[in-house]
């Protein structure tokens, strides 16, 4: 194994590599890196034994230099136009996903019409969230290399449990751009429970409440014999401590009769107020009052007023906790431990409200800012082969399936399915001689694909021409440990095969994801009726095609009366199919089936008789 040396004169690391795998918490407000040393995980401190947190802020100087962390945070006030923060909120998103949240950012978020992925404008240049996140990861990589005295190239990076496929892929791409081989994407709540060593204890069910600067998620995990199984997740990537800060700023503007439009246009003052609000929030975790001024603006607020402002946000997180328990089919009393993650959980109202909801004291002994990175370092240690008694099982946040006849969603992987997973189903063609079949992949809970989110599509080409219903096409969904989806389609008779890795350029906002789940519940009865009608119509189409073929092939053995009755019943079925009454369609299907069944038997007897003519049995 090659070793490293640090060139003390230049402060550079010599080109010797080790197999050290690092754990990274790429956060909305702060990021940090951790590593296991002497069997224990520890967050890496900066030069001069500074704090472990690296503000997730990037500054672009006029000379083209890029700085990250504390140095960039210092530029928020003096050069806000060229300083980017909370970029994690934009990972894997389109402009459509974030346009309602534009006011939350102090910089220009745009859609340049060349890609679906949202971009951030800095001067005359445009950057993707992936490129900006890569700068933060480069800074963390440099920090740990200086600490260890060796170059590192492998990492485990954590993401919110509610991150979808696109957001996970964007995180992996950012790591690659930063020169890191991302061995695993791990859910933040799973990492937090690893940090508390809960995998080494008796079987238990825990809740991980993660409220950071810009994202919130709640996860219910079952842990037994070192196996971490995520039972359910819920959350919102546009809910966090940033919202607390903004509420304080709005309170001050109202208190001082300031025009919000004027403040938003004055980037310098806007950033001053935002940073002062963050300072007030931290101060009020222990103090009853905060009193300061910014440019003669009275920036005072009491803890009671602050708690009144943030109560709606905290209640929203409790609603998510309630839904996560419901999805896991558990009661509050089934939860043995509640782990608090994220700097925003230091707010007393948050801690007390969560404790009251779960009816127990919360776990917050480890630094809530560091706990996820420590867990990521432990998972990195597992991957390095130093721990063999831990296995992580995560889940899919929404159902995955394909479009079938009539625009129906056929679910192949239901939501809350454990990953990694492989699931498949067989399909066939609906038209004689069909040579190509389009496979359209959707994500969502509704029965019609038009109400769900399209992830991608591909065409299985070269199917040998056969009668409708004869080809056997197997469609498989394969989701790896990082939640990345691959879809394969294969015609079993001809061995023709096609596959696609679903990497959409943008994802579903958590607000939209929650909306989709709510709509699936609200419209369940209506969707069932629509599905039943479409399924009846699909069967009717198939029967009409079969009837037409049957009449052509058996013209000589059918009487004129039998032909006329079959045509009449087919006409009645066609008429019913054009209506909205599924029962009428099913009745017409039953009528034509009952009449043509004896005719089909006669046709079969004739075919067998001709096939056996001149042969001995």
- Residue 617 pLDDT greater than 80, yes or no: no
| pLDDT (average), residues 559-581 | 84
| pLDDT (average), residues 569-585 | 83
**Is residue 582 flagged as an active site residue?**
no
State how far the Cα of 281 lies from the Cα of 43, in Å rounded to an integer: 24
- Residue 374 pLDDT greater than 60, yes or no: yes
Question: E-assigned strands of 293-381?
Answer: 293-294, 297-298, 301-302, 337-341
Quote the tokens at residue 70: 């504390």
Structural element, H or E, at residue 597: helix 582-612
11: confidence class by pLDDT, cuts 50, 70, 90:
very low
In 3-state terms, what secondary structure has residue 508? coil
Point out the catalytic residue in the list 173, 210, 381, 510.
Answer: 210
pLDDT recorded at residue 10:
36
Q: Which of 104-108, 507-511, 578-582 has the highest mean pLDDT?
A: 578-582
510: confidence class by pLDDT, cuts 50, 70, 90:
very low
Report which of residues 609 and 552 the model is more confident about: 552
pLDDT recorded at residue 481:
66
- Residue 444 pLDDT greater than 70, yes or no: yes
333: confidence class by pLDDT, cuts 50, 70, 90:
very high
Point out the catalytic residue in the list 25, 135, 243, 482.
Answer: 25
pLDDT recorded at residue 259:
86
102: confidence class by pLDDT, cuts 50, 70, 90:
low
CATH superfamily of 6-241+309-394: ATPase, nucleotide binding domain (3.30.420.40)
pLDDT in tens, 171-209: 988 998 898 988 888 888 888 888 877 656 667 899 999
**Is residue 25 flagged as an active site residue?**
yes
507: confidence class by pLDDT, cuts 50, 70, 90:
very low
pLDDT recorded at residue 254:
92
**Is residue 278 flagged as an active site residue?**
no
Q: What is the third-level CATH fold of 525-612?
A: Substrate Binding Domain Of Dnak; Chain:A; Domain 2 (1.20.1270)
Quote the tokens at residue 544: 């009409």
pTM of the model: 0.60
Domain borders along the chain are 6-241+309-394, 396-522, 525-612
Mean pLDDT of the chain: 81
522: confidence class by pLDDT, cuts 50, 70, 90:
low
360: confidence class by pLDDT, cuts 50, 70, 90:
very high
pLDDT recorded at residue 156:
93
Give the 3-state secondary structure percentages of the chain, helix then strand then coil, rounded to 5.
Answer: 40, 25, 30
pLDDT recorded at residue 6:
32
Structural contact between residues 195 and 188, judged by C-beta atoms closer than 8 angstroms: no
Point out the catalytic residue in the list 73, 88, 93, 281.
Answer: 88
Quote the tokens at residue 490: 């294969």
In 3-state terms, what secondary structure has residue 217? strand
| pLDDT (average), residues 328-356 | 94
| pLDDT (average), residues 456-476 | 83
pLDDT in tens, 378-418: 888 887 777 655 555 566 777 889 888 778 888 888 877 77
Point out the catalytic residue in the list 188, 245, 381, 535.
Answer: 188
Q: Which CATH class is domain 396-522?
A: mainly beta
215: confidence class by pLDDT, cuts 50, 70, 90:
confident
Dump the DSSP string for 252-286.
HHHHTT--HHHHHH-HHHHHHHHHHHHHHHHHTTT
Domain 396-522 matches domain 525-612 at the CATH topology level:
no
**Is residue 188 flagged as an active site residue?**
yes
């Amino acid at each position: 194994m090659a070793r490293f040396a640090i060139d003390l004169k230049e402060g550079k690391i010599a080109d010797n590599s080790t197999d050290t795998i690092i754990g990274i918490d790429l956060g909305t407000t702060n990021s940090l890196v951790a590593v296991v040393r002497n069997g224990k995980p520890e967050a890496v401190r900066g030069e001069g034994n500074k704090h472990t947190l690296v503000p997730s802020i990037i500054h672009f100087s006029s000379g083209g230099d890029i700085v990250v962390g504390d140095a960039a945070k210092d530029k928020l006030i003096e050069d806000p136009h060229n300083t980017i923060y909370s970029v994690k909120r934009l990972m894997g998103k389109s402009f459509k996903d974030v346009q309602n949240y534009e006011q939350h950012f102090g910089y220009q978020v745009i859609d340049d019409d060349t890609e679906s992925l949202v971009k951030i404008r800095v001067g005359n240049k445009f950057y993707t969230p992936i490129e900006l996140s890569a700068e933060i990861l480069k800074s963390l990589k440099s920090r740990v290399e200086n600490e260890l005295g060796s170059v590192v190239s492998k990492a485990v990076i954590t993401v919110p449990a509610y991150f979808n496929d696109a957001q996970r892929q964007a995180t992996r791409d950012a790591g690659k751009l930063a020169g890191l081989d991302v061995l695993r994407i791990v859910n933040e709540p799973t990492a937090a429970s690893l940090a508390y060593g809960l995998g080494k204890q008796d079987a238990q069910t825990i809740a991980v409440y993660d409220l950071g600067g810009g994202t919130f998620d709640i996860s219910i995990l079952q842990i037994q014999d070192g196996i971490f199984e995520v039972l359910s997740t819920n959350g919102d990537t546009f809910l966090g401590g940033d919202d607390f800060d903004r509420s304080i700023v709005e309170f001050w503007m109202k208190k001082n009769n300031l025009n919000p439009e004027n403040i938003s246009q004055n980037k310098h003052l806007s950033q001053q107020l935002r940073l002062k609000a963050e300072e007030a929030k931290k101060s009020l975790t222990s103090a009853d009052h905060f009193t300061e001024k910014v440019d003669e603006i009275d920036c005072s607020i009491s803890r009671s007023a602050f708690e009144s402002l943030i109560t709606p946000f905290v209640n929203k997180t409790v609603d998510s906790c309630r839904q996560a328990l419901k999805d896991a089919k558990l009661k509050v009393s089934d939860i043995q431990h509640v782990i608090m993650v994220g700097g925003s959980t230091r707010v007393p109202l948050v801690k007390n409200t969560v404790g009251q909801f779960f009816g127990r004291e919360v776990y917050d002994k480890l630094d809530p800012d560091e706990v996820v990175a420590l867990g990521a370092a432990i998972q990195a240690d597992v991957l390095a082969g130093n721990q063999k008694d831990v296995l992580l099982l995560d889940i899919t946040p929404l159902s995955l399936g394909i479009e079938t006849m009539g625009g129906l969603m056929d679910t192949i992987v239901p939501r809350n399915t454990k990953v990694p997973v492989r699931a498949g189903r067989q399909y066939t063609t609906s038209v004689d001689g069909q040579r190509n079949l389009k496979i359209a992949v959707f994500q969502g809970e509704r029965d019609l694909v038009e109400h769900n989110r399209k992830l991608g599509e591909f065409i299985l080409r070269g199917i040998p021409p056969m009668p409708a219903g004869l080809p056997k096409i197997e469609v498989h969904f394969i989701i790896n440990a990082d939640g990345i989806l691959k879809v394969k389609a294969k015609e079993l008779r001809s061995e023709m095969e096609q596959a696609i890795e679903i990497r959409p350029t943008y994802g579903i906002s958590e607000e939209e994801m929650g909306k989709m789940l709510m709509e699936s519940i609200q419209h369940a009865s209506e969707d069932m009726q629509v599905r039943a009608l479409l399924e009846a119509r699909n069967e009717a189409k198939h029967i009409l095609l079969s009837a037409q073929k049957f009449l052509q092939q058996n013209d000589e053995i059918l009487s004129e009366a039998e032909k006329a009755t079959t045509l009449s019943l087919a006409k009645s079925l066609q008429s019913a199919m054009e209506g909205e009454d599924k029962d009428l369609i099913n009745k017409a299907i039953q009528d034509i089936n009952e009449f043509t069944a004896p005719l089909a038997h006669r046709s079969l007897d004739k075919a067998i008789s001709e096939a056996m003519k001149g042969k001995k049995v």
